[in-house]
C-alpha cells in the first residue's frame, strides 16, 4: 500500500517537474530528510528522496535536449551520436565555466566507482555509490544550471540594466519559460525544513516522544533522524546561512536609514521577515543544543568567526560598506560584532548550561567517553589503512575490513570512522580523499576570490562559513556519508559557485 502511494506521489511529482522544474527542485531541497521513506521498486531498493532526484534529473535532461537555444549549432545533425555529444557538451558548458571543478569532480566520481568494485558487498556498495555520489552530483549539475543571483535575472524595463537572460527551457504544454532558482529561494526551502525538524526536536526535549532508546535517558533529541548528531550535522552549516540571511534583510531595507518611509504593509512585511528568520535561527540553535551536538556548536562558532572576519575585511573601509543594495551603506563593524556576540553568547551560554554535567572542556579535548571511543576507532582505522593504503576498504566495506584490527572488543564497530579524512580514505581510497581535498580547495579558491568582486558579500561569506562548519564538525563525525548530508554538501557547493559566477 505504501509503495503504491509513493508511486502515485512520484508520478504527480514528475508532472510538476515537467510544468515547473524550478519548483520541483526546491521541493527536493525542502524534502532532504525524505530519504528515511524507503521502498522497493521491483528488486531495486529506493528512497523517496532518490525517486524525486531521478525525476528532476530526467526532466532536466529532456528539457535541455529540447532547448533550441542550448542546441543551436551551425550544422544540423539528426544522428543519435551527435545529439548525445551536443547534450554532454551543453551540460558540461553549464557546469564548468572557467574553473577546475570538472576534473576534480570527475576524479571524485572515478574514485567512488573504483571503490564500488573493491567493496566486499557489491549490492551494498552500489546503494552507497548511487545515493552518496552519483545522485548528489547529478542534482548539483541541475542546480548549478538553474541557479542565478537576482542581479543576473532580467530586470524591469523601467529601471536597471538588462542582463543576459537565464537558460530558457521547454516547459511542456505551457511553452517556453525562464526556469531559474535564486539562492534566496534555496535558503528559504532549507529554512522551512530546518524549522519543522527543530520544532519536532524541541517537542521531543520536553515530552521524550520519539527519542530512540539509547538517548532517551539523556533526553538527547534526534527529531526524525536515528541519532542526535545527525540533527547537528544537518542544522549546523545551515544556521550560519540563516544568520547571514537575517543580516542581509537588515541591510536591504530602510530599517536603519530610511525608517520614515517604511509604514503600513511594507513595515509589517519587513518585520514579519525579520521575526521569521529570528525564529528559524533560535529554533535551529535550540535543537542543536538539545541534541547535545558539541561538534555542531563548535562548527557554528568557528563558522561565525570566519564569516564576520571575512565580511569585515572584504573592503578597505573600516567603518562602512555596501552590503547588498547599491548606494546604501550601513555601519558594518558594529552590526557584525553585535550579531556575532549575540549568537555566540547564546550558543556558549546554552552549551554550558546543558553540557556542563559532562564537562565541556573534557568533551572538547576528547577526554570523555565519546572522545575515548573516537580515539580508539581512529587508531584502529589507521592500522587497517596501513594494510590497504591505496584502495581503502571500498564502499560499505569499513566494518568488514576493520574486524581483524578491532582490539577494543568492548566497543562496537561503527559504520564509519567518524573523521572526514578517514571516512573518505577508508571508503574511496587515496584517490577519493585526494579528489575531495581538491574539491574543497576549488570551492574555497573560487569563493574567497569573489568576495570582493560580488555585491552579495554576505552570501559569499556565509557559504564559506557553512563549509567551514561542515569540515570542523567532520573532524569528529561523518558529515558526508548520509543521503541528506551528501545532498547538503553539494547544495552548499552550488551556492558558493553561484556567488562566483556573477562576475565570470
pLDDT, tens digit (0-9, with 9 covering 90-100), for 46-97: 999 999 999 999 999 988 888 755 445 544 545 555 555 555 555 555 555 4
pLDDT, tens digit (0-9, with 9 covering 90-100), for 323-339: 444 444 445 544 554 55
- Per-residue pLDDT, 288: 94
**Is the pLDDT confidence value at 352 over 80?**
no
Higher pLDDT, 178 or 64: 64
Return the number of other C-beta atoms located less than 10 Å from residue 451's C-beta: 20
Report percent pLDDT > 90 for the chain: 50
d(Cα 237, Cα 201) in Å, to the nearest integer? 17
pLDDT band, very low/low/confident/very high, at 174 (cuts 50, 70, 90): very low
d(Cα 231, Cα 227) in Å, to the nearest integer? 8
Cell numbers representing residue 28 in the block: 527536493
- Per-residue pLDDT, 262: 60
- Please, are residues 87 and 64 in contact by the beta-carbon 8 Å criterion? yes
- Please, are residues 325 and 160 in contact by the beta-carbon 8 Å criterion? no
Higher pLDDT, 431 or 457: 431
- Per-residue pLDDT, 504: 40
Angle at the Cα of 147 (from 459 to 252), degrees rounded to 5?
35
pLDDT band, very low/low/confident/very high, at 308 (cuts 50, 70, 90): confident
Burial status of residue 217 (CB atoms within 10 A of its CB: 0-12, 13-18, 19 or more): exposed
Q: Are strands 38-41 and 44-47 parallel, antiparallel or unpaired?
A: antiparallel
CA nearest neighbour of 492 among 463, 465, 471: 463
The alpha carbon torsion through 318, 323, 327, 331 (nearest 10 deg) reads: -40
Domain ranges of the chain: 2-96+148-178, 182-365, 368-504
Helix (H, G, I), strand (E, B) or coil at 41: strand
CA nearest neighbour of 400 among 413, 390, 410, 382: 413
Residue 176 β-bridge partners: 170
pTM for the whole structure: 0.85
- Per-residue pLDDT, 254: 44
Residue 449 β-bridge partners: none
d(Cα 489, Cα 136) in Å, to the nearest integer? 9
d(Cα 52, Cα 10) in Å, to the nearest integer? 7
**Is the pLDDT confidence value at 11 over 70?**
yes
Q: How high is the mean pLDDT of the chain?
A: 80
Cell numbers representing residue 246 in the block: 537575517
Longest dimension (CA), the chain: 72
**Is the pLDDT confidence value at 268 over 90?**
no
pLDDT band, very low/low/confident/very high, at 480 (cuts 50, 70, 90): very high
Higher pLDDT, 306 or 168: 306
- Please, are residues 151 and 163 in contact by the beta-carbon 8 Å criterion? yes
> Which of 330-336's residues contact partners 24+ apart within 8 Å by CB, and which partners?
330/250, 330/251, 330/256, 330/257, 335/247, 335/250, 335/251, 336/247, 336/308, 336/311, 336/312
Amino acid at each position: 500500500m505504501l509503495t503504491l502511494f509513493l508511486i502515485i506521489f512520484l508520478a504527480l511529482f514528475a508532472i510538476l517537474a515537467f510544468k515547473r522544474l524550478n519548483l520541483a527542485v526546491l521541493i527536493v531541497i525542502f524534502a532532504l530528510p525524505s530519504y528515511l521513506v524507503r521502498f522497493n521498486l521491483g528488486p531495486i531498493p529506493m528512497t523517496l528522496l532518490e525517486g524525486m532526484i531521478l525525476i528532476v534529473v530526467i526532466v532536466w535532461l529532456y528539457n535541455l535536449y529540447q532547448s533550441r537555444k542550448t542546441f543551436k549549432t551551425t550544422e544540423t545533425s539528426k544522428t543519435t551520436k551527435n545529439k548525445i555529444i551536443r547534450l554532454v557538451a551543453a551540460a558540461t558548458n553549464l557546469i564548468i565555466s572557467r574553473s577546475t571543478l570538472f576534473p576534480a569532480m570527475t576524479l571524485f566520481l572515478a574514485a567512488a566507482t573504483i571503490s564500488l568494485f573493491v567493496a566486499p558487498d557489491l549490492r551494498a556498495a552500489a546503494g552507497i555509490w548511487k545515493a552518496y555520489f552519483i545522485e548528489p552530483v547529478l542534482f548539483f549539475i541541475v542546480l548549478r544550471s538553474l541557479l542565478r543571483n537576482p542581479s543576473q535575472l532580467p530586470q524591469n524595463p523601467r529601471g536597471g540594466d538588462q542582463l543576459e537572460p537565464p537558460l530558457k527551457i521547454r516547459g511542456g504544454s505551457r511553452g517556453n519559460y525562464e526556469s531559474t532558482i535564486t539562492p534566496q529561494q534555496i535558503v528559504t526551502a532549507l529554512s522551512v525544513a530546518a524549522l519543522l525538524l527543530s520544532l519536532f526536536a524541541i517537542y521531543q526535549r520536553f515530552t521524550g516522544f520519539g527519542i530512540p532508546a539509547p538517548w532517551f535517558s539523556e533526553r538527547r533529541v534526534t527529531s526524525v533522524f536515528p541519532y542526535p548528531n545527525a540533527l547537528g550535522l544537518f542544522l549546523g552549516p545551515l544556521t550560519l546561512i540563516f544568520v547571514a540571511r537575517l543580516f542581509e534583510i537588515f541591510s536591504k531595507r530602510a530599517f536603519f536609514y530610511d525608517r520614515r518611509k517604511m509604514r503600513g504593509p511594507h513595515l509589517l512585511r519587513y518585520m514579519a521577515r525579520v521575526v521569521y528568520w529570528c525564529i528559524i535561527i533560535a529554533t535551529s540553535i535550540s535543537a542543536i543544543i538539545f541534541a547535545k551536538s558539541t561538534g555542531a556548536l563548535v562548527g557554528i562558532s568557528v563558522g561565525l568567526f570566519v564569516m564576520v572576519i571575512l565580511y569585515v575585511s572584504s573592503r578597505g573601509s573600516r567603518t562602512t560598506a555596501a552590503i547588498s543594495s547599491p548606494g546604501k551603506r550601513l555601519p558594518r563593524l558594529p552590526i557584525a560584532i553585535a550579531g556575532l556576540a549575540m549568537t555566540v553568547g547564546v550558543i556558549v551560554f546554552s552549551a554550558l548550561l546543558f553540557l556542563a554535567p559532562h564537562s565541556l572542556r573534557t568533551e572538547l579535548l576528547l577526554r570523555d567517553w565519546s572522545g575515548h571511543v573516537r580515539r580508539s576507532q581512529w587508531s584502529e582505522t589507521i592500522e587497517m589503512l596501513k594494510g590497504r593504503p591505496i584502495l581503502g576498504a571500498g564502499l560499505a566495506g569499513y566494518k568488514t575490513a576493520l574486524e581483524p584490527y578491532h582490539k577494543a572488543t568492548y566497543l562496537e564497530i561503527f559504520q564509519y570512522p567518524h573523521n572526514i579524512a578517514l571516512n573518505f580514505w577508508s571508503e574511496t581510497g587515496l584517490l577519493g580523499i585526494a579528489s575531495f581535498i581538491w574539491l574543497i580547495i576549488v570551492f574555497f579558491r573560487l569563493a574567497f576570490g569573489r568576495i570582493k568582486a560580488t555585491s552579495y558579500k554576505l552570501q559569499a561569506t556565509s557559504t564559506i562559513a557553512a563549509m567551514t562548519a561542515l569540515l570542523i564538525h567532520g573532524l569528529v563525525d561523518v558529515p558526508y556519508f548520509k543521503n541528506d548530508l551528501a545532498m547538503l554538501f553539494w547544495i552548499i557547493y552550488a551556492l558558493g559557485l553561484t556567488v562566483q559566477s556573477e562576475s565570470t
